[in-house]
Amino acid sequence: MQLNKKLNLIHKILKRKKEYPFVELQITNYNNSNFYLCLLYNRIIDKFKVLYIPIDAVEDNKIEEYFCYQFIGVKSVNYLVNQITKELPKYEKVEKRDRRNKNMNSFEITMNVYDSGHIYDFYMTRYLPKEWKFLFETIVMLFEHAPNIMSELATEILSVIMNTNEEIEYQASINCNLWKADLTKYFPSLQNEKDFKQGNISFLEQVNGKYYAIIDNHLLVIEYSNNQKLLNIFCDDKDLVYSNYTYQVLDAIKNQEEKRFFKIRVEKAKDTYNYLCLGIEKKRLKIIKENKLSHLSLTRLKEEDITILEDQENKLKTELEEVMNA
């Protein structure tokens, strides 16, 4: 049964059972899996419940057999309802509720909020955006009332808002087996000698499940899912996404090449930041910040504000001491 038909059938069953949704969370093609969670009210027994359905397990129209319920207290529901409804007037326009990455057709998340006969449909890709923080506690509550196997998925969806991950707007998504595919067919620039650019890869390292590369002073971020056979690509210059630069980096990844970054920790005004660092350039630390190459001026920092977490043969330490003691 197709996914849309399953969702339509769920709504028909809920209506028949006199169960009315307040919040629905539909997770589609997330690591090849599909889930449905819902905070609802049962009019017959006058109770609030959380409904969890593992959509992929349903193979026929007996979908009700897969309904998994947990009751939830009225006080908790009232708190969550008030938290969300006071923010909804800001999201009357459809475009304000759509944060999907149009370059990807996976990791799709739809959150429907039902309020006074109106449906506010929020769309996102993979993560809950930071500006939608008012939805955070409701999503946490839904997963708390789902089976424990869902906790890892919840952690990933909420990782950007919890500052344990960075949201990357990938500009290309390719379905392929990275380790076996002939990647040349995805890069037209390889066919035209005029467009061919042989770059110098100065850094290449896998960090937090993503490959970060610096090639001719451009940043590339590559993410590959072995389960989905899906390759996601980001470049700080979108015109280079399908260039030979990307092909070179992918080829280097396939050959298990590695050129590690320096790692630093910087403390400023009681806040702590960890960065991938490329070295020192004109008395500034060259770093990756918010998916861009950026600089930190050393004139505004004290030596004790900087902790070197990873160095190569004390190269960064030596350069830093020379600048700070000059």
Q: Between 267 and 135, whose confidence is greater?
A: 135
Tell me the per-residue pLDDT of 176-196, one tens digit each, with 9 for 90 and over: 999 999 998 898 877 776 666
Report residue 163's pLDDT band, with 50, 70 and 90 as the boundaries: confident
The secondary structure of 240-257 as a DSSP string is GTTSHHHHHHHHHHHTT-
Interacting residues of 208 by C-beta distance below 8 A, sequence separation 6+: 165
| Mean pLDDT of the residues in the chain | 91
What are the pLDDT digits (tens) for 274-325?
899 999 999 999 999 988 999 999 988 888 889 999 999 999 999 999 888 8
* Residue 31: alpha-carbon gap to chain centroid: 12
Asked: is 172-254 a CATH 3.30.310 domain? The reply is: yes
What is residue 300's predicted lDDT score, i.e. its pLDDT? 82
Model's pTM, two decimal places?
0.75
- pLDDT tens-digit profile of 228-246? 888 999 999 999 999 999 9
Averaged pLDDT for residues 47-59: 92
Amino acid at 259: K
Say if CB 275 and CB 264 are below 8 A apart. Answer: yes
User: What percentage of the chain has pLDDT greater than the value 90?
Assistant: 69
Which of 193, 114, 152 lies closest to 35, judged by CA?
Answer: 152
* Domain range list for the chain: 3-157, 172-254, 262-324
Fold equal for 3-157 and 172-254: no
Sequence-ordered list of residues with C-beta below 8 angstroms from that of 191, at least 6 positions apart, any chain: none
- The top-scoring range by mean pLDDT among 2-16, 248-262, 294-308 is 248-262
Closest CA to 207 of 170, 243, 259: 259
SS3 46: coil
Structure tokens at 95: 């475009």
**pLDDT tier at 31, thresholds 50, 70, 90:** confident
The CATH number that domain 3-157 falls under is 3.30.1560
- Residue 196: per-residue pLDDT: 67
pLDDT at 194: 63
Instruction: Determine the Cα–Cα distance for residues 75 and 91; give it in Å rounded to an integer.
Output: 25
